[in-house]
Amino acid sequence: MAQEWNIRPRGHVCGICLQPLEDKKPCVSVLRENAEAYERLDCHPACWREAPRDWQPFSVWEGEYEAPAPVAEKHEPVRKETAENLLRKLIALEDPAMQNVMYVLAIMLERGKQLVERDTKPHESGGLLRVYEHKKSGDTFVVLDPRLRLDQLGEVQQQVVSLLSGTHALSDAQTEPAQTS
Ligand SMILES: [Zn+2]
């Protein structure tokens, strides 16, 4: 059974020939569904075309590999909750009660051009699984689109705003270790 929410990082070497992927060169990304989770494979387009396989991919798209940028040192001690951080935390929690919030966050990130939609698949719940790719890091986000009605949207957006502004705490999502200075 497909998981409703999932994040998978992009690989930096071809999953087939094991040679490094080159910056700004085409790259085929594949999600494979298994009993527990999605496996992600990133590879050279030629390797994907030529390698024999006995399984069906859940989703395949061709994008451009981007080498990771060096991580800049962060200096601000108080970090504002961003939509992306919040979505990552919620996906890790896999709480079905938050499915509408996760979906609205994904839409916000897509409108902000941080996530690009790569694929959609029907889900047994009647919703849609949307496969997004993070523009910078290349991480894959699988998010269930619960097919919200228009009259449900306003309420969910308020929930998102209060979570982002910190007026409504995600009690058990404080996974960040305390900073030692
Ligand atoms: Zn290869």
pLDDT in tens, 103-115: 999 999 999 999 9
In this structure, are 40 and 98 located in the same domain? Answer: no
In this structure, are 94 and 129 located in the same domain? Answer: yes
Cα 47 to middle of ligand 1, angstroms: 5
Residue partners of 139: CB distance under 8 A and separation at least 6: 7, 8, 9, 10, 133
Question: What is the spatial distance between Cα 105 and Cα 17, in angstroms, rounded to a whole number?
Answer: 36
Among candidate residues 64, 92, 108, the one where a domain is terminated: 64
In this structure, are 98 and 158 located in the same domain? Answer: yes
Token match 């949307």: residue? 130
Cα 37 to middle of ligand 1, angstroms: 24
Q: Is residue 74 part of a domain?
A: no
CA-based torsion, 72, 75, 76, 78: positive or negative:
positive
In this structure, are 128 and 160 located in the same domain? Answer: yes
Cα 64 to middle of ligand 1, angstroms: 14
In this structure, are 156 and 113 located in the same domain? Answer: yes
Q: Structurally, how many domains does the chain consist of?
A: 2
Cα 46 to middle of ligand 1, angstroms: 7
Q: Is residue 181 part of a domain?
A: no
Cα 27 to middle of ligand 1, angstroms: 9
Q: What is the pLDDT of residues 131-162, one digit of tens each?
A: 999 998 999 999 999 999 888 888 999 999 88
Cα 21 to middle of ligand 1, angstroms: 8
Cα 129 to middle of ligand 1, angstroms: 28
CB 115 within 8 A of CB 109: yes
Token match 């910190």: residue? 166
Token match 């497909």: residue? 2
In this structure, are 15 and 50 located in the same domain? Answer: yes
Give mean pLDDT in consecutive 10-residue pieces for the chain, a chain of 181 residues: 82 93 95 88 96 94 88 58 91 92 95 95 94 94 93 90 79 44 42
Domain region containing 58: 6-64
pLDDT for residue 115: 96
